[in-house]
Amino acid sequence: MVSNLLIPPWFPPPAPRLADKRSAPLFRYSYVLADGEHEDRTRVICNLPLRNAREEKAFKAVIAFVRNQQEEGIGVTGYTFSASDTFYGYWWDGDRGRWVEDKIVLLMIDYQISLGDPEARSLSEQISDLKEKIAAAYKHYGCKQDEVWVVSNPISRYL
Q: Which region, judged by CB under 8 A, interacts with other proteins, from 7-15, 49-57, 106-114, 144-152?
A: 49-57
> Number of residues in contact with other proteins, rule: CB under 8 A?
14
Query: Shortest gap between Cβ of 108 and other proteins (angstroms)?
Result: 15
Q: Which region, judged by CB under 8 A, interacts with other proteins, from 5-13, 40-48, 66-74, 91-99?
A: 66-74
Residue 150 near residue 131, CB atoms below 8 Å: yes
According to CB under 8 A, which one of 20, 85, 93, 101 is a site residue for other proteins? Answer: 85
Distance CA 100, CA 52 (A): 16
Interaction of residue 77 with other proteins, rule CB under 8 A: no
Interaction of residue 67 with other proteins, rule CB under 8 A: yes
Choose among 56, 47, 147: nearest CA to 88: 47
Four-point Cα dihedral 149, 131, 143, 66, nearest 10: -110
Interaction of residue 39 with other proteins, rule CB under 8 A: no
Choose among 77, 145, 83, 152: nearest CA to 116: 152
According to CB under 8 A, which one of 42, 49, 59, 123 is a site residue for other proteins? Answer: 59
Q: Is 130 exposed, middle or buried (0-12, 13-18, 19+ CB in 10 A)?
A: buried
According to CB under 8 A, which one of 30, 52, 122, 128 is a site residue for other proteins? Answer: 52
Q: Which region, judged by CB under 8 A, interacts with other proteins, from 9-17, 22-30, 38-46, 61-69?
A: 61-69
